[in-house]
Structure 1
Amino acid sequence: MLLEHVSRYYFAAPYARGRVLDLACGTGYGSHMIAKERKREVTEVVAVDLDEETLRYAKREYHHQKITFLQGDAADRSLPERLGQFDTILCFETFEHIADEAALMDNLYRMLKPGGILVLSSPFGRGRGMPTSEPFHVHQLTPEEFGELFKRYADVDIYYQRGVTFEKPRDGVRYFIGIGVCVK
């Protein structure tokens, strides 16, 4: 599972440029990967997570001069005013934890500069309003519901993660995680 998480950041790295937001950054390894991997293209990484203890760990273990770790709720409607706008937003494995999905999607849109890139991933499941086997997931979207999240964006590419690889959909293959790459 760790390899799958790390692979999302490797997948997203070529898209990262300018001011980057890593929303729901967790322990901070991905923010650190982006800051190191894209040191010439990235001016700043703002890494936000809800959990203070996790952020203390991130600050200690993944300190980097370009990273600022901040506490925040991804669905807090005041987040855009607090953080400003970004050239790139990364948001991995967050959507399924948020009850107010409209607030999250609105925040992402408002915080992304025109021409900016959003890279968002989420596991697939039985759909909105359906129970999941994961105790901390509010819901898990179907692939169709996942694609509908990005209607406001000018350009959208949907990929599917299978293990540590990403691909366009193929018939007969079951995918468990979707990843949207969206340009505002």
Structure 2
Amino acid sequence: MEFTGERFVPQCQGEIAAEHYHRYFFASGFVAGKRVLDIASGEGYGTHILAQSAAHVTGVDISPEAVATATQKYAGDRVAFLQGSAATIPQPDAAVDVVVSFETLEHLSEQEAMLSEIRRVLRQDGLLIISTPNKPLYSRQGDNPFHVKELCREEFVALLKSRFAHVSLLGQKVMYGSLLSGTGGETLLLRQREEDGAVERMPFTEQAMYFTALAGNGPLPPTQSSFFDYPLEKSDLAAQLRENLAELQERHDAAQARLEAVEAAYTAILASRSWRATAPLRRLRHLLKGKGNKS
């Protein structure tokens, strides 16, 4: 599948890859031995990740092309793909232990119907792992033509609590810095102020680009902070630097070519008959010019 901006595909690199892979690797820690449903499974790479530890995973996507691609690449004894909508999930009641749905909610206007369907297909003590952009921060990047309704933190949590008794919220943001991780409460984001060098301290979830939530009607499993070690050389910043370097090299090569052309033309002039024939005139002009300056 080609990348259109609507669905992530594995050939992408940069922040978008770090974001998508991190979510699925995080979710894979909750699915061991479970029957799992991956809503909006797209190309199927995430369903494949979940299947490494789950008993069985079914990926559902509304796109026939996505389902065909995923089936060809990943389908097997523990992995299957079905075409269907997140608002009308093609699964029976109480069929799965875990539902995973990343970056799907904002693509639908029928968000309440989607949550009701997820609640229907989950077993009574089942778990939902779901993510969506943080509207106030995400919207600063400009409008996403594939998004129908983005949510702020309060709206996202309220929607989940309308269907599930328990909700646990985490924030996600691609950053390059230093991680100190532990079990002592909420993660803090430390940022050095430019004007005076002082440090700002703020809850990390307030600065998160995306929210990932665990929701269920039974007790939720404990969660820990996680850091996805994504190679810096694959980052958007590194890609931009490579692009800038290539542009500078292109400009340098063009300037060098022009210089070489000028030098070749100058050499040709010096070697020409007309240049040699007019040499006495140039010498005379130089002498006359010198006498004029003396007077």
Whether these two folds match at TM > 0.5 is: yes
Report SS of the residue matched to 1:149.
helix
Bigger proportion of residues as strand = 1
Q: Kindly report the root-mean-square deviation, in angstroms, between the aligned alpha carbons of the 2 structures.
A: 2.4
Q: Distance in 2 between matches of 1:59 and 1:53?
A: 10
Match of residue 72 from structure 2: 60
Q: Distance in 2 between matches of 1:43 and 1:80?
A: 17
Match of 2:213 among 177, 180, 183: 180
Deviations 1:73-120 (A, max 9, x none): 1112x6454x75210000000000011111101001111111111000
* 2:21 pairs with 1:6: yes
Deviation, 1:169, is 6.1
* 2:59 pairs with 1:47: yes
Deviation, 1:168, is 4.9
Distance of aligned partners of 1:154 and 1:80 in 2 relative to their CA distance in 1, 3 Å threshold: same
TM-score, with structure 2 as normaliser: 0.55
Asked if the contact 1:159–1:179 (Cα under 8 Å) also holds between the matched residues in 2, the reply is yes
Q: What amino acid is the match of 1:177? A: Y
Deviation, 1:63, is 2.7
Report SS of the residue matched to 2:120.
helix
Identity between Structure 1 and Structure 2 (%)? 32
Asked if the contact 1:80–1:110 (Cα under 8 Å) also holds between the matched residues in 2, the reply is no
* Aligned pairs for 1:79-118 within 5 A: 79-81=90-92, 85-118=95-128
Bigger proportion of residues as helix = 2
TM-score, with structure 1 as normaliser: 0.85
Q: What amino acid is the match of 2:40? A: A
Comparing both chains, which one has the higher relative contact order based on Cα–Cα distances under 8 Å and sequence gaps of 6 or more?
1
Q: Distance in 1 between matches of 2:73 and 2:104?
A: 22
Deviation, 1:144, is 1.2
Q: Distance in 2 between matches of 1:65 and 1:162?
A: 35
Asked if the contact 2:94–2:124 (Cα under 8 Å) also holds between the matched residues in 1, the reply is no
Runs of 4+ in 1 over 4 A off after TM superposition: 167-170
Match of residue 73 from structure 1: 85
Match of 1:24 among 37, 40, 43: 40
* Unaligned runs of at least 5 residues, structure 2: 1-15, 180-184, 189-201, 218-295
Asked if the contact 1:123–1:140 (Cα under 8 Å) also holds between the matched residues in 2, the reply is yes
* Unaligned runs of at least 5 residues, structure 1: none
Higher mean C-alpha displacement, 95-104 vs 13-22 = 13-22
Structure number with larger C-alpha Rg: 2
